[in-house]
Chains A and B, each alone.
Chain A
Amino acid sequence: MPNSHPFPSSPLARYLLQIADDQLVMGHRNSEWTGLGPILEEDIAFSSVAQDQVGHALAFYEYLQAECGADDPDQTAFNRPENQMLCNGLVEQPIGDYAFSLVRHWCYDHAVRLRYESLSGIENKTLQSIAVKLQGEVKYHTFHADTWMKSLLQGSEESRLRMISAIKEVWPLALGMFESWVGEENLSTEMDPNGQAWYPGEAALRLQWQVQAFQSLQAWGVDVDQWALSKLEPVLGGRQGFHTEHLAPLLEEMTAVFRLDPQAEW
């Protein structure tokens, strides 16, 4: 579609780009477990989740190209400077130990689930179909993450302590997934076919996410008040193009092959 405005051209395009960038970077990080997983099944699980996530990023980059004037998906994914990437700080972090990656996976995929649930209420039929389709795949991610969170939080004393320590480390970054962004208000006033706003805005999504996360943690024996999780300050910046120090080296590696020949046909 010809477009004289710089991309992303609309609040919707920007929102979808944020989701796509999160998925791309998260997928890249999760793929770093390939060959390193603590047991074979987990190696395969993180690799499969990674594969899904890069596929989800592609679905949105393709939509942005077809409908919002974005460049082709390879260019959008691999040829933007760091300050134009809109991913959050959580997905940028190195994989750390398995506890860190697992807690991140749990926090992240539940947030994605809520975003897809909300997006499936949009009037736009194409996006609605994409959201419905991807929701089914994310159900496997949250199922996998829930199973291991529960097992390890209710496992040995060591597994419990290591998980709690990872939760405390992840939490401020996880809250940063819901950073407010330029144009958010305009999207919040867009209506679904029933005249309801399909996108509740970041603050509402964060609240919904945290209420559900606390319910699960409490059911698994974590005292969320003792660790003052609700009082932690979010790590912000990603949605404005300001990133943690971990994104630049990741982009360097992720785009290395692409930069050898940016116009190559794959």
Chain B
Amino acid sequence: MNDVLEALVKIVGKDFASNHHEERYFYGRDPGLMTPHEADYVVMPKTTEEVQQIVKLANKEKVSIVPKGAGLALTGLVIPLRGGIVMDMKRMDKIIEVNEGARYVVVEGGVSNGALRDHLNKHYPDLRHSVPEAPPITTIAANVVIHGQGRLTNQYGFNSDMVNGLEVVLPTGDVCKIGSCSVGPFWFSKGPPLPDLSGLFLGWLGTTGILTKVGLKLYPKKKMKDLEILVTDKEDLIPYIIYKITHTEMVEDLAIWAQERPLMFRGNYHINIFLTADSEDELEMKRKMVYDSVQAYVDSRDAGFMTINLDMRHDFMDNPQKSMTAFADVRKGGGFEYAGPIIPMELYPECARKVAELAVKYKVVYGGSGRVIHGGHCMMFSFAYTFNRANQDEMGRARKALHEAAEFVADKGGLLWKPNIDEQKIMMERMDPNTLELMMSIKKLLDPNGIMNPGNWEAR
């Protein structure tokens, strides 16, 4: 046994540290299109103290560390680009506290979205968190680190906006609390009225520290929910329609989708309007307000509400939406990846045309979807392409389509979400130099030995 493995075993026990090729291989890749790179070690800590010891060991040995949740960002963010230790956080799976009155939860860094959803359903039926459409094994911590979104994003913003406090193991191995939990027992604020230090960790893709605890806001869970789907074949109208609907402030979630398979959907843009309420009267009132807000488009026959069959309703109401994951195998190839830039609403029509145009150019199948963020200040637009994992040529074409999509959106002024290392470069190349300098200075200050997820957010 080599020295690093021996030290890891001493920290977490022999069952939870490995340098076997099976783990090095699997943890060296993700389901997306980025080039794999094998880990040297995989370790699964159970406590914050174990995380601290591992980080201190990594500093001493100058070995890099990549913290990992489920590894489903699809953009290679947990591929250990320079080898080293992949730290699988999923054994840190305790839901520590739910403060029902203040509507927040505190979870360990490996708690999954599925586990929290179930815990709230069973024990706090009036509360919910913003469940992403990603598979339920995805972790709360990883989701906020990448500025993920969920079912409540239209109402309350990015899931990272819902953070109420953090416990972070810094790249030096010290533990730091962020927000109200740093001065008292409560986790009701991630910063305000103090300086908001959560920004040192959210969006940094694990390069500035490891989240071992997350405080997260919870929201009222309404007794009933419903779905309406408005369809138009005019992508140019989408920003206006969204503006009208969001003006009502009646909608839980707004998602827009367009896809070429099955063929009946081709050429149309579907706006999923999710409504929630505590009574039939409230639901009816919200539904009426939404109808009224788009009546002009219906009257002009530019848009109409579609009939939703039972299976489709079930699929869309499901949260997380299992059918979204099934997109990966729509052509029996087992792969899909998406570039998901954050864009102002007005860029929707151009993006909607581009996703289809790139699919033709690179001979791949597309899905284009968007999710409105925080009442319409911006949206996430997903350029999604499927690929056959056994077809290297098709994988290469999908990769090119995604890269071209990223450059297109960046040129238009969009921000690349959970960017892979190439997309990070695209962002940094276009970034104000002083902003970039500030980012690099912060990173260097926090991680002097450059051990945290190296290769990410690195300027030349």
**Binding between chains A and B:** no
